[in-house]
Structure 1
Amino acid sequence: MIIGETVPAVPSWLTDPLWDQFAALLPARPEFAAGHPLRCHRRRIPDRIVFDKLLQVLRFGCSYQGIADTTCSASTIRNRRDEWIKLGLLARLKQIVLEAYDRIVGLLLEDISVDGCITKAPGGGEIAGPSPVDRRKQGMKRSLLAEGYGIPLGRELAGANRHDSPLLAPTLDHLGDLGPLPADITVHLDSGYDSGKTRDVLTGRGLHGESARKGDKAPIQASQRWHVERTNAWHNAFNRLQRCYERRKTVVDAFFDLADAIVTLRALIRKAWTTHRWDNRPSRRP
């Protein structure tokens, strides 16, 4: 590696199509900022630079000040991030990638799984709480919904002290964003959901539950819930999600939307590599 060379946060075969779709969502902007306080012409920082900076923050978990340089300041990264969140662009990007995956590969909705994951939240914030597994330090819990292969479909964020079971109903509500669903859906859960309340929630939604039973060893009751556990591991590979310093829920959701888009697009490219041809296709299967 050449000294001073920047390590890419995401490979170019994954970043380029992601940016192409995101750029199509951006509204038209003037090249110069008309509202400059000194009434002079200041060239607007290109959106691609800020997008790459957000990818680096997501992947490496660094601070905005740590990733800022002569091309883009920390305040510009935060301001552009908030602007895109207000426009709903990152959520829309995630939805478009998910729809593309469903159209080309197909979502496996007959078997879905839900699982909770506790991570660190040293900065506290709106969705932080005392962690029961980290000496009551501030932590965050995500209740994740995934389809049969592990593609993330939705999440519910809460403090680390919240139990998994009460988060099941709002997590399953994300199924309503997917359009037509199969007639028979099986929800795979771990033993933390083994309760009458969970069974009532599933029955009320017309879903079939397959929960691990408390006291039984894992090999005996192994099921398809390992897909969501793998997806949680994919999320934790993004250091900004594993150790989150963001204090606002909207910002955390935006980073999760960006991570979901990356995870889904990576799976789409991997599965389509043997059946499709396109420009800038990776020479080797990802």
Structure 2
Amino acid sequence: MSRLLPDELWEKIEAHLPPQERSPRGGRPAVPHKQALLGILLVAKTGMQWNALPWEAFECSGVTCWRRLRDWQDAGIWQRIHQDLLRELDWIGGIDWSRGVVDADSIPGKKRGDCTGKNPTDRGRLGTKRHVLTDARGTPLCVVFSGANRHDSVMLEPLLDAFHGIKRPGGPGRPKKRFKKLHADKAYDFPRCREALRQRSMTPRIARRQVESKDTLGKHRWVVERTMSWFDGFRKLRIRDERNLEHFKALHSIACIFICFRQLQRFS
């Protein structure tokens, strides 16, 4: 299972997990964290249902894996691992602060829940919209969600505000979160979006409707499209079947962790 979870990444994740202790009441020992994590990753990668997870593979039930996913999300563990990997990347120059890129795409949904809405481009079917901020290399920095009926431009400021920046370990000053330029497609071509970027001391590079060719700024925006395709490599993210938004966020954090780990290997 080293292909599913490289040893180096497991060491980084294990450092954030709570210690496992035997219950004073006795009983069956808890499933080791690594086995539960492997089950979570198998579900995330293949898109299978939790109750379809084969016990023989990890000696761990789908219910146990789902509970660990939930508990670690509630404890903020997935987000902390993602932030730690971003700090490591920034430390070795792997984050390109010259340009940021934002984009959004819609994910079909099977169930109602937080951040679901009727998708006007999909015959009014339920869906969730995923809004992503990356650096110039496509490293996912922040992901927020809305109903599929929300316009991309409305979520620009919530997306930027949700990114709390990257602070180097022991470094002085505030976390770094400002790009020199921020690229976006024509869905963000509104005065309020440009003003929001200027207020944050970023130069807006937003494609203009009916003026600029789609190829003019595409040479910088393509990286976020590639990041979206990296997300789709985790089949559990292609269709939202998690009613609870926090569980869906956790699966996206796992995808971000793996993408950042690959970027870290590239620059190490």
Deviation at 1:61, TM superposition (A): 1.0
Q: Which residue does the alignment assign to 1:60?
A: 46
- Please, which moves more after superposition, 59-68 or 162-171? 59-68
Say if 2:239 is the partner of 1:243: yes
Say if 2:15 is the partner of 1:19: no
Q: Which residue does the alignment assign to 2:267?
A: 271
Is the CA contact (8 Å cut-off) linking 1:90 and 1:257 kept in structure 2? yes
When the two chains are superposed, the root-mean-square deviation of aligned CA atoms in Å is 1.9
Shift in alpha-carbon separation, 1:188–1:220, aligned structure 2, 3 A: closer
Deviation at 1:222, TM superposition (A): 3.2
2:99 pairs with one of 89, 106, 111: 111
Deviation at 1:139, TM superposition (A): 0.9
Deviation at 1:190, TM superposition (A): 0.2
Is the CA contact (8 Å cut-off) linking 1:188 and 1:211 kept in structure 2? yes
Question: Where does 1:1-286 land on structure 2 (aligned, <5 Å)?
Answer: 11=3, 15-31=6-22, 33-34=23-24, 41-70=27-56, 71-179=59-167, 180-181=175-176, 185-215=180-210, 216-272=212-268
Note the alpha carbon deviations across 1:182-237, whole angstroms, 9 max, x for none. 87610001011111111121122121101111123322443411111111111111
Q: Give the partner amino acid of 2:104.
A: G
Q: Which residue does the alignment assign to 1:276?
A: none
Shift in alpha-carbon separation, 1:184–1:177, aligned structure 2, 3 A: closer
Alpha-carbon distance in 1 for matches of 2:246, 2:178: 33
Is the CA contact (8 Å cut-off) linking 2:97 and 2:179 kept in structure 1? no
The DSSP-based 3-state class of the residue aligned with 2:205 is: strand
Alpha-carbon distance in 1 for matches of 2:177, 2:27: 56
Alpha-carbon distance in 1 for matches of 2:84, 2:11: 12
Is the CA contact (8 Å cut-off) linking 1:122 and 1:137 kept in structure 2? no
Deviation at 1:175, TM superposition (A): 4.0
Alpha-carbon distance in 1 for matches of 2:220, 2:36: 39
Is the CA contact (8 Å cut-off) linking 2:44 and 2:251 kept in structure 1? yes
Is the CA contact (8 Å cut-off) linking 1:191 and 1:213 kept in structure 2? yes
Aligned identity (percent) is 29
Which consecutive residues of structure 2, in runs of 5 or more, have no partner in the other structure?
168-174
Q: Give the partner amino acid of 1:249.
A: L
Is the CA contact (8 Å cut-off) linking 1:110 and 1:182 kept in structure 2? no
TM-score (norm 1): 0.84
Is the CA contact (8 Å cut-off) linking 1:188 and 1:223 kept in structure 2? no
TM-score (norm 2): 0.89
Note the alpha carbon deviations across 1:67-108, whole angstroms, 9 max, x for none. 141411122112222221222111111111111111123311
Runs of 4 or more consecutive aligned structure 1 residues displaced over 4 Å after TM superposition: none
Alpha-carbon distance in 2 for matches of 1:25, 1:195: 42
Alpha-carbon distance in 1 for matches of 2:236, 2:95: 27
Is the CA contact (8 Å cut-off) linking 1:105 and 1:268 kept in structure 2? no
Give the greater-gyration-radius structure (CA).
1
The DSSP-based 3-state class of the residue aligned with 1:123 is: coil
Note the alpha carbon deviations across 1:247-268, whole angstroms, 9 max, x for none. 1121111111111010011121
Q: Give the partner amino acid of 2:197.
A: L
* Number of residues of Structure 1 aligned to a counterpart in Structure 2: 258
Deviation at 1:149, TM superposition (A): 0.3
Which consecutive residues of structure 1, in runs of 5 or more, have no partner in the other structure?
1-7, 273-286
